[in-house]
Every structure is written in C-alpha cells, then in structure tokens.
A and B are shown apart, each in its own frame.
Chain A
C-alpha cells in the first residue's frame, strides 16, 4: 500500500481502537539545524534509542551554524544515524508503525535532508509519514521522562531559534501566549558570548562563566513589550551589553593612553600619581555574563509566572536548548515552588535538538489520525499550531 492510498483511506474507528491497544513504534528523524538525529519511541513516551550526531565542532570554526555546511554534513550522516537508531533499539523497518520527521521551523537546507529521507523511507517501507513541528517536539520532550505529565499545562520553550510561552490545551493543541519580538533567547546568548570573547556556542559558555560572576554587578534592562505582556524582546538587552562593553573598553583605553603619555613625557610625580589613582580593574566578563544571564532569566520567569497566575495553570514545563541553562532552571523551580506550581523540565539530552521528542510528538499526531503526504515540504518559518 502506498502512502497516497493510506492518505485517502480514512482510518476506521474500530481500526484505530485496535491500534491504540497495540504498541505504536515510531521512528523520529530530526535535522532542522546542526544535529542529525534519529530515535525509536514506543507509545510516545518510551525511548528505545536516541542517536544524535552533532556537528558543533565544525560550526565552532565559523562562530555559528553555516547552513550549507550543515546540509552537507546531514546528507553524509543521515543513513548512519537512522540505522544506528534501529540497531540500538533492536528493531527493523518492519517493526515500525510510522516515521515522524521535523519539517519546520529551522534551516531549509538541513530540514530538507530529514524530510526527503523520511518521505523516501516511508514510500519504500509502506509506512505512514508524519510531519512534526520542531517546537511541538521540544514541548513533547517533557512527556518522555514524566509519565504523569498531561495537558493542559503551561510551557516555556527557549532555544537558539525560539522563545515561546505556550498553553498546551491538549495533545497537539496550543494557545500561544507570548513569543519573542526580535532575537530568540538563545540567539542573544550566542551574540553576547561572541562579544565578550567566550565564543560559540554561547549558551553553555555563558552559563559556565556566570557561575564565577556577580549577577547583580551590572544592571542591564529588562524589556517589557507594551500591549503584549507575555512577549519577549532581547535585542535591546543585547545592545545594552555591547554598549556597556564598548564604554568600559573606551574608559580603559583612555586611561592607558593617559598613562603612556605620562611615561613618554617622562614626567614623574603628581600626574603619574593621579594616573595610578584612577587605575581601572580589567573588564570582568564573568560579571557581564552573570548580569546578562540574570536579565534574560528574570524576564523569562516573570512572564511565565504572570501567565500562570492569570491562566490558573498549576503545571509549568520548560523546553528547548536553553532549558539546560542552570540559572533558568533554578529560578523557575524556585518561583514555581513558591506558588505551588509543579515544575517539569527534560534532562539536558532531551533539551538539545533530538529525535526522541519528534517521535513523541509524532505519536500523538499518529493517534489523532494525522498523516502527511509525499509532497511534504520543509517550511523554515513554520509556526506552532499551523
């Protein structure tokens, strides 16, 4: 049976019930950015294998993800990653119920590798195809380790490309309360990390540097968006950090010049004494990292709590690559505990881009009877709920 036939044939109620009783085994495939990943997930929550091939070493050379290089790496690794996921789980294509694949949002070149591969594999194996929204995948990552987590709940999705505050109404149904108006939180981490010389990837590097800094050393702005109380804006914060950095550099430059002029003229005495008195300590990037991170975390926590208070949701889940950030986890946990809100977050391995979360999200779409056709395309700007 080809996919087209499955598409045209509505799933009969009896059949669906029967399928619900059986194990549903889904192969998830993810290639939206710089991770080639495949995973086998049983019944949406049990991960049988989770293979992630990261390209981070290559992109570090360029200070960020280069889409063409990422695409070239994906095509070289997709077969190996998928076959490893099947092997680790001890399964073959014949055991699968469906294949779920990320079709957006993300980088179009990388997305197309996973989408093209998944479509072809579904065609050859006669399996249903399920296109999965990457953000929906991040949200579903929370189902994997928390069997008790069920909608409705509030979810804060923060990653290199996304910052969303979402109400998960039921599986696959979302109400978006807030999103970023400019940079994603993770993007701001990358840009600031580059500016203060920490390099790529910014998230983990700022997190580490911040541990040795004072989060209250510098007061960076907390942006609030007028008329959209749950929205975020991080570009102003990023500029504030860059401005601070520049003005501090200039102060030191001026002081240095003053010192050099003095010694060059050979004048000793009052002027030099005065110069010494003004000596400025070197810029402390740990303080900048900690203060910047606190500004980001404050806004993320504040908006989340505001939303929880307003909606009455008693469950908050965190998702996305930035969900690994230790300061964010601690601050959210503390705020939730104070309000009696249950706080969920995935382990770091499910925060980063992975295919287990895609397999989990695909499972709920599969149960709902959703199927994608062989003309499924990559949609780089795909929004949640589309």
Chain B
C-alpha cells in the first residue's frame, strides 16, 4: 500500500511518501511557520523526486490534531483537495499519537507534549509493550503542566518526553518530577510525517479512515468566542 503523509500541526511542516512499510521520501522543515506557502511545494517536490504516480496512492494520512488551529486546517484542506481528486480516503492520525510513535521501542512511558499556551500542553501517555505493540495508555488531552507532573509522579515510571512543549516546560519538569526522565534527541523530538504515515498504515489496515468529506480536524479546544459564550450561559444559569 502507498500513502502520502502530512503534518502541519505545529512549527514543523512535514510531508512523506510511504510504500509497504518503507519510507520512500520525507521532507521536514522547522523554520518559519508559513505552511500555507511551503507545504504544497514540499509535497510536489518529494512527489517529483520519488517519481510518485499519484494514481497509485491508497490514502492520505494527516496529523488530525490537536495543534495550531490554522496549521491543522492547512494540512486537512490540502489532504482533502488531493483525496477528493484521487477518490481516496483520509487517515486522521492523532497528532500526539504520531509524536509518540517517533519513539518506537522505547521502554517506560512516552509522553509527547505540545505547547498549548495558557500553561497547558496537549499530551497523552503511551508505551510499547514487550512485543513492541503500541499502546495508548491515556488518549491525548489538554493538560495543565502541574496536573501532568502529578500524574507522572503517581505512575512512578521512567518517562521520555518530546515535542515543542519540552523547551517551554523543561525547567518545571526537572523541578517537579520525582521519576527518572529524559528528552528525545534532535531527530526524534518533533512532528515527522514519516511517523504519521507509519502509524497511518496501521490505522488504515484497522479500518480507521474516513472519506475526505467526513474528515475534520480534532482541536481539543473550543474557539474563544464559543468559550466566552458558554461561560456567559453558565453564569446566567448559576
């Protein structure tokens, strides 16, 4: 099977082509956040270099969220445009799952963290069992940093962190954590479309995909306007 994978959920823009368990091409750039200008030329570039015949693609895998609202939509809209023309489905891979999958085979807990502003991170708890099956121990959710620290201290296991939340909260983690922990190295520390595609292959085989029309990003957060409206409604009720 052949997949085109996209991740534009954060500062990283990344595109990859995978075929039957092999990464044929990957283009990852972590520079300025101008995904609307860079993502499609990147896809076009790797498609040309890897001589990809678009008609042979089985699906598009996309980092489905959470992440930057605009970044997620650029990725999703691009995936939809390609998928609609080719008549193929979209595999929406949770962004935090894909980040965790970067650390295949790691022992102990894998805890990706994406800076969600307002002292929060988008995170989740993951592990690979003895047979290296990928286990989602706690699905991705927006957590306060103190909440996350106390959960990890309670678990009492070795933790490996990665993601763009690390530089933001590293000091706080080192202070607050009572468990052995470390941070992923440069080549594994951020979103990579290769990981989105690799996990996307698994999800596709499990039937976890949708039509382009039905695909929508997962924000894990309401818009500011909706939050304000909900608060007003709640205080009116109370």
B78: A residues at CB distance < 8 A: 116-117, 119-120
Q: Which residue of A lies closest to B211 (CB)?
A: A79
Whether the Cβ atoms of B41 and A374 lie closer than 8 Å is yes
Q: Among the listed B74, B85, B213, B229, which residue makes an inter-chain contact with A112, where contact means beta carbons less than 8 Å apart?
A: B74
Closest to B37 in A: A375
Identity of the chain B residue whose Cβ is nearest the Cβ of A81 in the assembled complex: B213
Q: Is the CB of B84 within 8 A of A79?
A: yes
* Interface range on chain B (Cβ under 8 Å from partner): 35 or more
Closest residue of B by beta carbon distance from A121? B81
Min CB distance B172 to A, Å, is 29
Tell me whether A79 and B225 are in contact (CB under 8 A). Answer: no
Chain A-chain B contacts (Cβ-Cβ < 8 Å), number: 113
Stretch at the interface among A68-76, A251-259, A332-340: A68-76
In the bound assembly, the distance between CA atoms of A83 and B217 in angstroms comes to 20
Q: Does A69 lie within 8 Å of B225, measured CB to CB? A: yes
Using A4-B44, A116-B81, A119-B40 as known contacts, say yes or no to A79 and B212 having CB atoms under 8 A apart.
Answer: yes
With both beta carbons as reference points, the residue of chain A lying nearest to B217 in the complex is identified as: A75
Q: Shortest distance in angstroms between A197's beta carbon and chain B's nearest beta carbon? A: 19
A377-B36 in contact (CB<8A): yes
For B36, list chain A residues within 8 Å (CB): 112, 115-116, 377-378
CA distance A113 to B217 in the complex (A): 12
Nearest-CB residue, chain B, relative to A62:
B225
User: Whole-angstrom distance from the CB of A262 to the nearest CB of chain B?
Assistant: 36
Bound-state Cα–Cα, A5 to B61, Å: 26
Interface string of A98-121 (1 = CB under 8 A from B): 000000000011001111111111
Residue B177, interface by CB 8 Å? no
Measured in the bound complex, the distance between the Cα atoms of B43 and A35 in whole Å is 28
Q: Which residues of B contact A83 (CB under 8 A)?
A: 84, 213
B residues less than 8 Å from A171 (CB atoms): none
Which residues from chain B contact A263 at a C-beta distance below 8 Å?
Answer: none
Asked if B70 and A75 make an inter-chain contact with CB atoms under 8 angstroms apart, the answer reads no
Say if the beta carbon of B82 comes within 8 Å of chain A: yes
A105-139 residues at the B interface, CB under 8 angstroms: 108-109, 112-125
- Nearest CB of B to A73, in Å: 10
Interface residues of A (CB under 8 A from B): 2-4, 61-62, 66, 68-69, 71-72, 74-76, 78-80, 82-83, 93, 108-109, 112-125, 373-378
